[in-house]
Amino acid sequence: MLKFWKKKPAAAGDAAQPEPAADADAVAAPSAAPPRGWRERLAGNALARGLGVLFARHPRLDDALLDELETVLLTADVGVAATQALVEDLRTRMHRRAFADADALLAALREDMRAMLAPVARPLDVSAAKPFVLLMVGVNGVGKTTTIGKLARRYRDEGRDVLLAAGDTFRAAAVKQLEAWGERDGVPVIAQGQGADAASVIFDALQAARARGCDVLIADTAGRLHTQGGLMDELGKIKRVLGKLDAAAPHEVLMVIDGTTGQNAINQVRQFRDAVGVSGLVVTKLDGTAKGGVVFALAREFGLPIRYVGLGEGAEDLREFEPRAFVDGLLPETLGATA
Amino acid sequence: MFESLSQRLSDTVQRLRGRGRLTEANIRESLREVRIALLEADVALPVVQALIQRVQARAVGQEVLKSLTPGQALVKVVRDELTALMGTVNTELNLAQQPPAIVLVAGLQGAGKTTTVAKLARFLVERKKKKVMVVSCDVYRPAAIDQLQTLAAQVGVGFFPSSGAQDPVAIARAALDAARREVADVLIVDTAGRLHVDAEMMDEVKALHATLNPVETLFVVDAMTGQDAATTAKAFAEALPLTGVILTKTDGDARGGAALSVRYVTGRPIKFLGAGEKTDALEPFHPDRIAQRILGMGDVLSLVEEVERKVDQAKAARLAEKVVKGKRFDMNDMRDQLEQMVNMGGLGALMDKLPGVGSLPDSVKSKVNDREIKRMIALIQSMTKKERRHPDLLNGSRRARVARGAGQQPADVNRLLKQYQQMEKMMSKLASGGMKGLMRQMQGALKRGGMPPMR
């Protein structure tokens, strides 16, 4: 697998961890019981573990350290461009002797990564309009409907009146899935059944939301691959139709991205942004070993705010995005500790 | 899928091809580019390193440097290694078992398992003439069972009802009994999406496997997955004795690195590709052909097979006869051709598989769409029978009438006629020069910036 696991422990210096095999195991078999908090959850993921191993075994400052740092970032889906930018910057500074030791280098890396994410950490304020219309979009299977279920619970718990619109009229039983969430959350769902026109369902739902004086309307849409022009046009239509009732609607177009997605996420966001003007992102499925590193590439490329992250299946596992917690969770706090 | 990776690799490879001499330095430089191309395509890093190492070992050896055309030889090495990485031949489902043969499908959330089960069921019914039953053991996701029920009705296969209140293992056992009772040939078992780090859920799928003892255990993975594909696949392969992999959502623009990673990590063949929203969008996976496609050599074999399957043989034979006899290609033939194209999933699906298309700029590719074809068919349909047989009759006033009839402009009619003339020319070339001449002609036209019928 990774190069540095193959190196003999003797070659790695005194402070090296004695058991390379154990390190490899730790990476291959993550802990069975995931801890609770934001930071703890993310700390269990491969990027953090990878970096932990790296710094534990290579306390010396040299180009080899940077090369392996590059490897770790690449393996975390950070992407070639973003990785090279980060690593080259570190390299220049290292050659200017800006770092006293590996600890300082790690701190600088953490700072850089935080700085990349700081501009995109803008939470969503749904009290800006009434009803505040959220349009959920994304490719197939990223977790749109599940995210809607979690959002509905969140807003309801904040004491808002929430209404859901079953705009995924294509996939078999998608309407039923949303209705099940509505029931679970105690939130009404506007639906017309499978095969109906999505724009018309969502239009009806907005009328209903106004009539009932709801605070938030969350509209589901069918998953669609960003390469399918016809389906992307349909999203544009939904947006136009909403605009007829309320020129400001939708107030937020939330695009859901699967955290396990690789560099293709960039193409996805670009196409959806061009078709419906995405205004915020939700990154889901970060509770596995997925590293979510593509978030850095997205922040670099688009600067779209990341509103929420999905960290598990429960309704409470949707959190606001906090770069400090995210990066602190990704990088180990201290060096030399076991990964 | 695969196009952008193809493009990067074929650019690199193209530069090498013409070289008479290769030095170690320029081999290293090329391999560095190959490495970046693979990483950008989301091929897992360990896999990239393994591939590069193997290519490098062979490239600096006798095989390449001593070859008369070292560039060509290096291309061959890269292709061989890519092919070796993906396996060499298509591996079919093994259903040779006392029925019911059981197929278990597993994977992460949102990989596309349920849709794949429906596609697979349809594939087995239509192409393998099997009696298929499906069952869902997903008791967690709301409405997951309803989804499979709806899809089963759509593709016309038996559905074993289950409910969210049941235990998955109990469902599986009952479904197996039912499949035996109803003498189904194949029972396909859908499971809930699960994370490989969720020990409880992994135990559940292991229990399902132990209960069913399936002849095929398939891992479903999203083609857009990043580096994590390797980790996930490894965990699933350790928990379950996988027999194969199905790669989904390949109709997007993901570069398909996950295909390479999963294949390498699990050592199991990729058996199918899911390539569309409809239930017939499942293709058997041919690794050797995909490797060629990645290197920009086109997948003409799959294209030929698809054409054979979908083209109306009688019409095609009639046209072929006509062409060979040197008779004129008229508007009726052109309409038939256009309709066949639409039948085969449109130009986009065809172009994907043609050699050289990978290196076309996106702006050209996006211009090719099926709307245009449908408009052309409409124009031909608003001609009289006589006009269709003798397009030369179409003078100004006839053209204006045809345009009105199809709700289009006279300029559109002119464009159609121009395309017709080009096609007619190609057909006569075909009669004299055979298929090879035609392909060369088309490739030339593509490089100039558009499919001939689209200009």
DSSP string spanning B98-113? SSSEEEEEEESTTS-H
CA dihedral B33, B36, B40, B44 (to 10 degrees): 130
Q: How far is CA B348 from CA A41, A266, B89, B303, in A?
A: 43, 22, 26, 12
Across the interface, do A289 and B252 touch by the CB < 8 Å criterion? no
pLDDT (tens digit, 9 = 90+) per residue, A19-38? 433 343 433 333 334 445 66
Q: Given the structure tokens 């739902």, which residue do they identify?
A: A205
> What is the rounded average pLDDT of the residues A191-219?
92
pLDDT (tens digit, 9 = 90+) per residue, B34-61? 788 788 888 898 888 888 888 888 877 6
Answer whether B149 touches A (CB < 8 Å): yes
A138 appears as a binding residue in the annotation? yes
- Whether A53 has a pLDDT exceeding 60, the answer reads yes
Phi/psi of residue A2, each to 5°?
A: -70, 150
For residues B250 and B257, give the distance between their C-alpha atoms in angstroms, rounded to a whole number.
Answer: 11
Across the interface, do A172 and B154 touch by the CB < 8 Å criterion? yes
CA distance A294 to chain B (A): 9
- Residue B432's pLDDT is 62
Strands (E), B177-290: 186-190, 216-222, 244-248, 270-274, 282-284
- Whether A139 has a pLDDT exceeding 70, the answer reads yes
- Whether A54 has a pLDDT exceeding 90, the answer reads no
Residue B308, burial from CB neighbour count under 10 angstroms (0-12, 13-18, 19+): exposed
Q: Which of A76, A141, A173 sits opposite B227 (nearest CB)?
A: A76
- Secondary structure class of A256 (helix, strand, coil): strand
Give which of A186, A187, A256, A174 is closest to B144, Cα–Cα: A174
- Residue B134's pLDDT is 96
For residues B284 and B387, give the distance between their C-alpha atoms in angstroms, rounded to a whole number.
Answer: 43
Q: Given the structure tokens 């003339």, which residue do they identify?
A: B421
What sign does the CA torsion over A331, A333, A334, A337 have? negative
Q: Which of B40, B45, B251 sits opposite A71 (nearest CB)?
A: B45
Domains and CATH numbers, chain B: 3-86 (1.20.120.140), 101-295 (3.40.50.300), 302-448 (1.10.260.30)
Better-predicted residue by pLDDT, B453 or A53? A53
Q: Which letter, b or e, does each residue of A1-26 get, where b requires 16 or more Cβ atoms within 10 Å of its Cβ? A: bbebeebeeeebeeebbeebeebeeb
Domains and CATH numbers, chain A: 43-120 (1.20.120.140), 126-321 (3.40.50.300)
- Residue B132's pLDDT is 95
B385 appears as a binding residue in the annotation? no
- Residue A289's pLDDT is 75
What sign does the CA torsion over A129, A132, A138, A141 have? positive
pLDDT (tens digit, 9 = 90+) per residue, A225-243? 988 888 899 999 999 999 9
Q: Which of B222, B224, B228 sits opposite A289 (nearest CB)?
A: B228
Q: Which of B108, B196, B252 sits opposite A226 (nearest CB)?
A: B252
- Whether A331 has a pLDDT exceeding 80, the answer reads no
Task: Locate the chain B residue with the closest alpha carbon to A264.
Answer: B254
CA dihedral A71, A77, A82, A85 (to 10 degrees): -10
For residues B221 and B108, give the distance between their C-alpha atoms in angstroms, rounded to a whole number.
Answer: 7
Give which of B207, B352, B340, B208 is closest to B273, Cα–Cα: B352
- Residue B109: its chain A contacts at CB < 8 A? 141, 143, 285
* Residuewise pLDDT in 10s, chain B (455 residues): 555 566 666 666 666 665 656 677 777 777 887 788 788 888 898 888 888 888 888 877 666 666 666 666 676 777 778 777 777 777 888 888 888 999 999 999 999 999 999 999 999 999 899 999 999 999 998 899 999 999 999 999 999 999 989 999 999 999 999 999 999 999 999 999 999 999 999 999 999 999 999 999 999 999 899 988 999 999 999 999 999 999 999 887 777 788 888 988 998 889 999 988 889 899 888 877 666 666 555 555 555 566 666 666 667 677 777 766 667 778 888 888 788 777 766 666 666 666 555 555 555 555 566 677 888 889 999 999 999 988 888 898 999 999 999 999 999 999 889 888 887 877 776 666 555 555 555 555 555 444 444 33
Residue B69, burial from CB neighbour count under 10 angstroms (0-12, 13-18, 19+): middle
Across the interface, do B147 and A174 touch by the CB < 8 Å criterion? yes
> What is the rounded average pLDDT of the residues A58-78?
79
- Residue A13's pLDDT is 39
Range name among A105-109, A308-312, B29-33, B124-128 with the lowest pLDDT average: B29-33
CA distance A110 to chain B (A): 21
- Copy the structure tokens of residue B94: 């093994």
- Residue A18's pLDDT is 40
ipTM of this model? 0.79
CB atoms within 10 A of CB A276: 23
